[in-house]
């Protein structure tokens, strides 16, 4: 895996800082892939620990206790396993621990596909996800229909849609990589209808035959696939469930909420059959390829899941979480159809799917094999050509261009070397997938790959393959095109485009923040408790979908002191006498202007009559600060956003205090401090009723 990709994952997606610890959890099936991550992170000068366990049986099965403890004792964790640990108590506990571990889950990850799926426009994808999330949050009921036969309805009122954005840099953040979905837990017991899964299914892969599932009162009651029924039955066995829980824990039925207990009691403790999730793919690079981690992110698909939904804000704890992908859906929210433009976003191609590789038919009549004409074409081609036995994967013939590319002599290759001998470990999984596809009568394909030469150099190539049967023997006829130079030029161009795009996107993000200020402030007016108000202000200021600051401290005037009232991602707590010659006190008294020091900004909070009531101390994103410093227009707009926001905060705080004061004055005499007649009559009426 490329160093740039590892650095993007660690620095951009996880926000790694100096001295933070990194843990990789893997299993025997994905040990080689995890090793690539380990070596890539180490090459960046970051210390990393790797821990390997026995592969889990199903998605959502708990890891061993020692792994669960290790996950809570780090700052960043990568879960690179065959089966997903996302919906496990171990993962939830690590996210909610004192360390607030930031976790990226990569179950069944394909390293080759990961390169493409991560290099996307995150800002554009997040904006697309935000639009969909708003629509779902405002709706009460969802209906999904497809031409394949899906006809499903469910209630979502009160459930919060979540965005899997791939940006996991906040304490306790968790998500999948690659990212790209909007998802929620439907209200338990409300789903009704038929689901036809025609894309792919957890534990099975890409589907040759659709799976039909009947849903009644939120639970799967009939399943057409014997393989899926077997997986669910296995996950529901007592021995599997007990493996998921440390000893001494209550069963899911006994340990869940009263609502869960009621649901499971009515359904015979069929928690694994609970319709747990509804998700929509928003990653423009994702396709339905048979890897559920990628498949569920593809545009123009939805996915449902059976089993556990605690991690999504639901009520049901189950021993598994199995996703199924549905293609080309029609979605209705409260009876209104979502348009294809809204569902697919601005970056999708016609039809909603982004195709990275189209099959390239190779038509070679069988009677040409072994003839002088074919030999001439084969041997004199400028592109590397090869013939491989499908079953054994042993090379049967290669041309001179192939010899030059690989660095091996002709005699070293023919009848002695296999395709895996010339394949870097990072793409072994992709090779196995392609071989399996050829074995299932997939005739031809074209895709990007990598070749490991004798010198150890990894060369990017494009491969075109076609399956033929000669004398009853299945062979693969392949052609390669070395595009190392093209890849290098593309990288230079891509880096420049990304650099320009990032600057442009930050300006667009700033514009979005300006638009969000009225929504931001209006939502605070409903809060009646000052402590809750201050907490909510800080959270929204640091939210990436809000102002996006890295940290904030709120100081309020209390008597003769300026006191820290709330911190978010900041550790300093102060109590400053107003008359002192402290920088904060001087700013509050108006003797010095708002202070800007590096990536920090300190501004007074003013109430009515321009009277200062406190201070706000902001820690800005360095990249955002660098952008606005280089752009006077952007800087003025950013300062206007913060000034407007801080003024609004001051008025909201004063308004809350005034309302509280008026409530007290309405029932108490100001001079004597004695309750008045209104309060007396209210209490008398209550006592009379009692």
pLDDT tens for 44-54 read 999 999 999 99
Q: CA separation (Å) from 361 to 186, 441, 484? A: 44, 14, 24
pLDDT in tens, 88-106: 999 999 999 999 999 999 9
Which two tokens mark 262?
């009621």
What are 463's strand-pairing partners?
A: 447, 480
What is the model's pLDDT at position 376? 64
Query: Using H for helix, E for strand and C for coil, what is the string for 325-338?
Result: EEECCEEEECCEEC
Q: Which long-range contacts (CB under 8 A, 24 or more apart) does 531-536 make?
A: 531/566, 533/652, 533/653, 533/656, 534/565, 534/566, 535/566, 535/568
Percent of the chain with pLDDT over 90: 31
pLDDT digits (tens, 9 = 90+) for 583-598: 888 888 888 888 888 7
Do strands 174-176 and 102-105 pair parallel, antiparallel, or not at all (unpaired)?
parallel
Average pLDDT over the chain, rounded to whole? Answer: 82
Residue 679: predicted pLDDT: 84
Task: Provide the pLDDT for residue 355.
Answer: 30
At a CB cut-off of 8 Å and minimum separation 6, what does 564 contact? 553, 554, 555, 572, 573, 574, 575
More confident residue, 422 or 665: 422
Q: What would the pLDDT profile of 551-581 be if each residue is shown by its tens digit?
A: 888 889 888 888 888 888 766 678 888 888 8
Written as six digits, the tokens of 238 are 């007592």
- Residue 98: how many other CB atoms lie within 10 Å: 7
Q: 185-203 b/e with 16+ CB inside 10 Å = b?
A: bbbbbbbbbbbbbbbbbbb
- Six token digits for residue 173: 């953040």
Note the pLDDT of residue 245: 34
Burial 383-404 (b: 16+ CB within 10 A, else e): ebbbbbbeeebebbbbbebbbe
Report residue 21's pLDDT band, with 50, 70 and 90 as the boundaries.
very high
Cα dihedral value 207, 393, 80, 309, nearest 10: 10
pLDDT digits (tens, 9 = 90+) for 611-633: 888 999 888 888 777 767 766 77
Instruction: Say what the pLDDT of residue 294 is.
Output: 86
pLDDT tens by residue, 341-352: 777 776 543 333
Alpha helix ranges (H) inside 73-165? 89-96, 111-118, 122-138
pLDDT of residue 520: 67
At 478-514, the pLDDT tens digits run 999 877 666 667 777 777 777 666 666 666 666 666 6
Tens of pLDDT, residue by residue over 252-293, are 333 345 555 555 555 546 888 999 999 999 988 889 988 888
* 143-186 pLDDT tens trace: 999 999 999 999 999 899 998 888 888 999 988 888 889 999 99
Question: DSSP string spanning 193-224?
Answer: EEEEE-SEETTTEE-SS-EEEEEETTEEEEES
Taking residues 513-526, what's their average pLDDT?
Answer: 69
Reply yes or no on whether the pLDDT at 371 is more than 70: no
Rounded to whole angstroms, the Cα distance separating 407 from 457 reads: 10
User: Is pTM, for the whole model, over 0.85?
Assistant: no
Half-sphere exposure of 152 toward its Cβ, with a 13 Å CA cutoff? 35
The answer to whether 178 and 166 are in contact (CB under 8 A) is yes
Q: What is the pLDDT of residue 343?
A: 79
3-state secondary structure of 89: helix
Query: Residue 525 above 80 pLDDT?
Result: no
Confidence of residue 667 (pLDDT cuts 50, 70, 90): confident
pLDDT band at 421; cut points 50, 70, 90: very high
Q: Where would I find the beta strands (DSSP E) of 559-634? A: 561-568, 575-577, 595-597, 600-606, 612-619
pLDDT at 486: 67
Residue with tokens 């100096």: 18
pLDDT of residue 353: 31
**pLDDT at position 363:** 31
8 Å CB contact between 321 and 388: no
């Amino acid at each position: 895996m490329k160093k740039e990709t590892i650095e993007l994952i660690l620095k951009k997606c996880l926000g790694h800082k100096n001295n933070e610890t990194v843990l990789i959890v893997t299993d025997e099936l994905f040990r080689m892939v995890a090793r690539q991550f380990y070596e890539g992170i180490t090459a960046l000068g970051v210390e990393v620990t790797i821990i390997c366990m026995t592969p889990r049986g199903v998605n959502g099965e708990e890891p061993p206790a020692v792994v669960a403890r290790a996950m809570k004792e780090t700052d960043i964790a990568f879960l690179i396993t065959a089966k997903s640990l996302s919906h496990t108590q171990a993962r939830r506990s690590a996210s909610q621990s004192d360390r607030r571990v930031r976790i990226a889950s990569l179950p069944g990850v394909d390293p080759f596909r990961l390169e493409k799926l991560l290099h996307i426009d995150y800002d554009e994808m997040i904006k697309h996800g935000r639009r969909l999330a708003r629509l779902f949050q405002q709706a009460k009921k969802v209906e999904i229909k497809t031409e394949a036969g899906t006809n499903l309805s469910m209630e979502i009122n009160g459930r919060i849609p979540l965005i899997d954005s791939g940006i996991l840099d906040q304490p306790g953040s968790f998500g999948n990589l690659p990212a790209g979905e909007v998802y929620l837990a439907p209200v338990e017991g409300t789903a009704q209808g038929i689901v036809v899964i025609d894309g792919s299914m957890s534990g099975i892969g890409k589907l040759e035959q659709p799976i039909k599932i009947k849903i009644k009162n939120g639970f799967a009651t009939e399943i057409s696939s014997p393989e899926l029924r077997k997986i669910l039955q296995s996950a529901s066995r007592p021995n599997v469930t007990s493996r998921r829980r440390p000893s001494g824990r209550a069963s899911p039925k006994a340990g869940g909420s009263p609502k869960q207990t009621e649901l499971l009691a009515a359904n015979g403790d069929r928690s694994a059959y609970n319709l747990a999730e509804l998700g929509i793919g928003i990653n423009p690079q994702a396709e339905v390829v048979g890897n559920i981690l990628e498949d569920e992110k593809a545009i123009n698909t939805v996915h449902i899941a059976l089993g556990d939904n605690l991690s999504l804000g639901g009520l049901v704890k189950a021993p598994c979480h199995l996703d199924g992908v549905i293609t080309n859906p029609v979605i209705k929210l409260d009876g209104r159809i979502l348009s294809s433009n809204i569902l697919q976003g601005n970056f999708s191609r016609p039809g909603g799917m982004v195709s990275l590789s189209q099959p390239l038919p190779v038509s070679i009549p069988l009677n040409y094999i072994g003839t002088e004409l074919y030999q001439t074409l084969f041997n004199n081609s400028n592109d590397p050509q090869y013939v491989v036995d499908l079953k054994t994967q042993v090379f049967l013939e290669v041309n001179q261009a192939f010899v030059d590319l690989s660095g091996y002599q002709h005699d070293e290759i023919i009848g002695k070397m296999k395709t895996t001998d010339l394949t870097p470990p990072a793409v072994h999984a992709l090779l196995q997938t392609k071989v399996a596809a050829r074995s299932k009568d997939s005739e031809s394909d074209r895709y990007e790959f990598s070749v490991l030469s004798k010198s150890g150099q990894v060369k990017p190539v494009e491969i075109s393959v076609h399956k033929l049967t000669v004398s009853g023997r299945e062979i693969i006829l392949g052609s390669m095109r070395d595009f190392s130079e093209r890849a290098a030029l593309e990288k230079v161009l891509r880096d420049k485009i990304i650099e320009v795009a990032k600057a442009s996107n930050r300006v667009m993000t700033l514009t979005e923040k300006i638009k969000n200020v009225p929504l931001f402030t209006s939502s605070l007016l409903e809060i009646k408790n000052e402590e809750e108000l201050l907490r909510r202000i800080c959270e929204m200021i640091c939210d990436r979908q809000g102002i996006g600051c890295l940290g904030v401290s709120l100081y309020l005037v209390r008597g003769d002191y300026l006191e820290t009232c709330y911190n978010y991602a900041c550790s300093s707590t102060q109590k400053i006498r107003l008359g002192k010659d402290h920088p904060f006190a001087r700013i509050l008294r108006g003797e010095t202007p708002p202070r800007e020091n590096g990536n920090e900004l300190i501004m007074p909070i003013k109430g009515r009559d321009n009277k200062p009531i406190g201070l706000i101390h902001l820690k800005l994103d360095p990249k955002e600060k660098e952008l606005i410093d280089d752009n006077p227009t952007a800087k003025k707009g950013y300062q206007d956003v913060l000034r407007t926001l801080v003024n609004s905060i001051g008025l909201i705080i004063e308004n809350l205090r005034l309302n509280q004061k008026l409530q007290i004055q309405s029932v108490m005499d100001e001079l004597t401090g004695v309750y008045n007649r209104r309060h007396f009559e209210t209490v008398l009426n209550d006592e009379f009723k009692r």
